[in-house]
Amino acid sequence: MEKDKELEGLILKYTAALKTLETEISILLQDYEYKNNYNPVEHIKSRLKSYDSASKKLISKGYEVNTTNIEKHVHDMVGLRIVCSFLSDVYEIVKIIENSDQITVHDKEDYITNPKDTGYSSYHLNVYIPVYLIDGVELVEAEIQIRTVAMDFWASLDHKITYKFKGEIPEEIKDEMHKCAEDIHALDQKMLTLNKEMQIIKEDQEII
């Protein structure tokens, strides 16, 4: 009974953190769009990791399953994914979040500059979100992933393909997925270049 109460309280905090994070990100992006006349975001997804998923993660790391270890060792219970149009937008959004007074960035991983061995690319921010409770303010951890549409497409298919295999993934599949990741990166770079060229043409037309 006591464990159920602890879990209920933990879920309450994570749920509140997710709502707070969604609201703050929404406000920041609306302000950015207002000031720049440009919306860099295609879509945003959010989720709260289930207790079962958190338990499996703890077990895989060799930890006992309890609320203390969930808070201490599962850093992505609260997750937000921001999908952008262009590569430059990713880094612009990182700056926006880093400058927020409500979101505290405590760790970041640039898997775009340094992709994982699988070919996975994305920008990860581990942040703290203030949750205002009756007993005071608590900082709750969350993970924000920022990526382009192309990166999101690859990651989604990689997840589906990977989960079809119960054992070790065949090397030929790994190699092909890695090649696809390289193609995705090249596409992002090409689209970024095209966008810059279009901006120059637009500015020249406005001058004329």
* pLDDT at residue 1, rounded to an integer: 44
- Which residues are paired to 125 by β-bridges? 108, 144
Indicate the SS3 state at residue 110: strand
Rounded to two decimals, the pTM is 0.89
The pLDDT tens digits of the residues spanning 54-113 come to 999 999 999 999 999 999 999 999 999 999 999 999 999 999 999 999 999 999 999 999
27: number of CA atoms within 13 Å, CB side? Answer: 10
Structure tokens at 59: 């077990």
What is the CATH architecture assignment of 2-160? 2-Layer Sandwich (3.30)
pLDDT(114) > 90: yes
CA-CA-CA-CA torsion sign (85, 88, 90, 93): negative
Give the angle 11-141-83 at the CA atoms, nearest 5°. Answer: 100
What is the C-alpha separation between 3 and 163, in angstroms, rounded? Answer: 32
- Beta strands 41-48 and 136-148 are unpaired
pLDDT(194) > 80: yes
pLDDT(201) > 90: no
Domain edges within the chain: 2-160
* pLDDT at residue 197, rounded to an integer: 85
Of 177 and 3, the one with more pLDDT = 177
The pLDDT tens digits of the residues spanning 15-37 come to 999 999 999 999 999 999 999 99
Of 61 and 198, the one with more pLDDT = 61
Average pLDDT, the chain: 90
- The percent of residues in the chain predicted with pLDDT above 70, rounded, is 94
Residue 152: is it exposed, middle or buried by C-beta count within 10 angstroms (0-12/13-18/19+)?
buried
Confidence of residue 161 (pLDDT cuts 50, 70, 90): confident
pLDDT(173) > 70: yes
